[in-house]
Amino acid sequence: MCGVFGVWGHPEAANLTYLGLHALQHRGQESAGIASTDRERLYAHRVMGLVQAGFSSRELGELKGDAAIGHVRYSTAGTSHLKNAQPLAVDYASGSIALGHNGNLTNHDALRAELEAAGSIFQSGTDTETIIHLFARSKMAGVEDRLVDALRKVEGAYSLLLLSERKMIAVRDPMGIRPLVLGKMRRGDREVALVASEPTSFDLIGGEMVRDVRPGEVLVFDDEGMRSFFPFEQKTRAMCLFEYVYFARPDANLEGASVYEVRKELGRRLAEEHPLPAGADDGIVVPVPDSGVPAAIGFAEASGLSFQMGLIRSHYVGRTFIEPQDSIRHFGVRLKLNPNRAVLQNKRVIVVDDSVVRGTTSRKIVKMIRDAGAKEVHVRVSSPPTKWPCFYGIATPTREELIASSQSTAEITAYLEADSVGYLSLGALTGACDTVQGVPSRQSKYCHACFSGEYPVPIPSAPAHRLRLVG
């Protein structure tokens, strides 16, 4: 998963982008980058690791100009290496461009093979570079026409930002799989345009959300202002449900719905679908922080049980799932969470988390809670069983590693050593999103491939083996 942020028309564009990326850090912690323009040329800086660690005032000062785009990344295509960090910035026949992309292209292996056969030499392992090559080879004249021409050939998920010397362009794929929002802020009597993966990044810099970028929409920012057009064939919407379940920040608003309210509603519906057995009304509801907190609040509200912080999270550890190495991830659970014995002892505990992927985290959590003296541990998950990998920009393990792809809920209960396990149904999940969005149920469409195996865009064949740089 990744995050993008862009500013058009502010003399401190790079500084604002740095701050915006800060607020999007949860979307990717492997690498970060910013590219800016002073209308004459592009400047770019990319680093491995967190935004805060990678940019000093010297680098930010060198990122000149009044427009900038930024990117935070964790790898879904390509390895964790600086060559794959974004924005990718290149020179082509008529100038320079920088490109930052959130999502995954499903036909990029085929396109890359075609481009390589025609002589293209790829510098990175990312699918994003495919767009760059298609752009550079396009016979169209202007930057926006070249970009649209390139994007007509790609399939899959993309919310992206392109920066040239004189334009910033934002595009969301025709299904709107990944989020992208338009914002603004004032500077004197002028309006500054902002674009980001999530609107929370606007709050930090005193900006405000205008609206979601629409599926298939292209927004061009230049000296003439902002233009919007829809050059692609219209498709059925397929916004990623996992953004609501886990990925986006709870204080974000996506497609007219507060992510926090959606998650609380998921918890309420989970309590209706999977209450505790009769007579267990002395139970306590414990969230797995931070991702399980809003759903646990909803669960506690609907069940009338008390909400307790039975697990305490260290705030000096990021999203442990994102750690590419298995050994670190396993250790990570202990590093991140500690049981609060005073709360858990002798209690029936309903532990609420947003998702179970491999099951390794939940298994450790159940043991931790039991070891702290709980008499029963009931696991409640505010999403359906994750059975299928994502090919549209969320890093998921292979199908074999997804515990629910091969095991029933009874088997998962045994593996987790829990007293019971209850997953939210897909109908309740989409219903909750629709309710909070304020649309009649089943009106809006979502991508639920990870739960249902129904992929809205055909999925790619096995990826090709590629050169691997180490160190």
Provide, rounded to whole angstroms, the least separation between the CB of residue 143 and ligand AMP.
33
Q: Does 356 bind ligand AMP (CB under 6 A)?
A: yes
Token pair 């794929």 is at which residue?
A: 173
Rounded Cα distance between 148 and 130, Å, is 13
Cα separations in angstroms, 132 against 91, 155, 283: 10, 15, 55
Using the minimum distance from each CB to ligand AMP, give the nearer residue, 129 or 354: 354
Tell me: does residue 321 bind ligand AMP (CB under 6 A): yes
Q: Which is nearer to ligand AMP, 207 or 389 (CB)?
A: 389
The residue behind tokens 């396993």 is: 330
Cα–Cα distance, 191 to 226 (Å, whole number): 11
Does 361 bind ligand AMP (CB under 6 A)? Our answer is yes
Interface region with ligand AMP, contact rule CB under 6 A, candidates 103-111, 141-149, 151-159, 355-363: 355-363
Tell me: does residue 160 bind ligand AMP (CB under 6 A).
no
Determine which residue in the list 110, 357, 426, 459 makes contact with ligand AMP, applying CB under 6 A: 357
Q: Are 266 and 298 in contact (CB under 8 A)?
A: yes
Tokens of 216: 């298939």
User: Which residue carries 């005193």 as its tokens?
Assistant: 206
27 and 201 in contact (C-beta within 8 Å)? no
In the complex, what is the shortest distance from the CB of residue 38 to ligand AMP, in angstroms, rounded to a whole number?
Answer: 37
Residue 391 in contact with ligand AMP, rule: CB under 6 A: no
Nearer to ligand AMP, 202 or 446 (CB): 446
Among 201, 362, 382, 437, binds ligand AMP (CB under 6 A): 362
Q: 143 vs 356, which CB is nearer to ligand AMP?
A: 356
Handedness of CA 437, 439, 445, 449 (dihedral sign): positive
Shortest separation between residue 403's beta carbon and ligand AMP, angstroms: 7
- Any alpha helices (H) in 42-142, and if so which ranges? 51-54, 57-62, 108-117, 128-137
Residue 396 touches ligand AMP, criterion: CB under 6 A: yes
Q: Could you say whether residue 317 binds ligand AMP (CB under 6 A)?
A: no
Q: Annotated catalytic, 2?
A: yes
Stretch that binds ligand AMP, among 15-23, 319-327, 343-351, 457-465 (CB under 6 A): 319-327
Q: For 308-445, list the strands marked E by DSSP.
A: 311-313, 337-339, 348-353, 376-381, 420-423
Report the residue number, 108 or 319, with the smaller CB distance to ligand AMP: 319
> Which of 2, 240, 390, 447 does the annotation list as catalytic?
2
Q: Which is nearer to ligand AMP, 20 or 393 (CB)?
A: 393
Q: Is 233 exposed, middle or buried (0-12, 13-18, 19+ CB in 10 A)?
A: exposed
Task: Work out whether 394 is an interface residue with ligand AMP (CB under 6 A).
Answer: yes
User: Closest separation between CB of residue 328 and ligand AMP, Å?
Assistant: 13
Q: How far apart are CA 422 and CA 270, in angstroms?
A: 8
Asked if 291 is part of the footprint of ligand AMP (rule: CB under 6 A), the reply reads yes
The rounded distance, in Å, linking the Cα atoms of 14 and 6 is: 9
Q: Interaction with ligand AMP in 242-271: which residues (CB under 6 A)? A: 246
Closest to 423 measured CA to CA, from 443, 451, 399: 451
Number of residues assigned to the chain: 471
Alpha helices in 55-155 (DSSP H): 57-62, 108-117, 128-137, 143-151
358 interacts with ligand AMP by CB under 6 A: yes
d(C-alpha 350, C-alpha 9), whole Å: 50
- State which residue, 17 or 200, has the beta carbon closest to ligand AMP: 200
Interface region with ligand AMP, contact rule CB under 6 A, candidates 203-211, 213-221, 232-240, 354-362: 354-362
- Which of residues 235 and 329 has its CB atom nearest to ligand AMP in the complex? 329
What is the end-to-end Cα distance of the chain in Å, rounded?
Answer: 22
DSSP class per residue in 427-446: HHHHHHHHHHHTS-TTSS-E
Residue 322 found at the interface with ligand AMP (CB under 6 A):
yes
110 contributes a contact to ligand AMP by CB under 6 A: no
Region near ligand AMP per CB under 6 A, out of 213-221, 347-355, 415-423, 455-463: 347-355
Task: Say whether residue 303 binds ligand AMP (CB under 6 A).
Answer: no
Counting contacts by CB under 6 A, is residue 25 touching ligand AMP? no
- Active site positions, annotated: 2
Q: Applying CB under 6 A, which residues contact ligand AMP?
A: 246, 288, 291, 319, 321-322, 353-362, 394-396
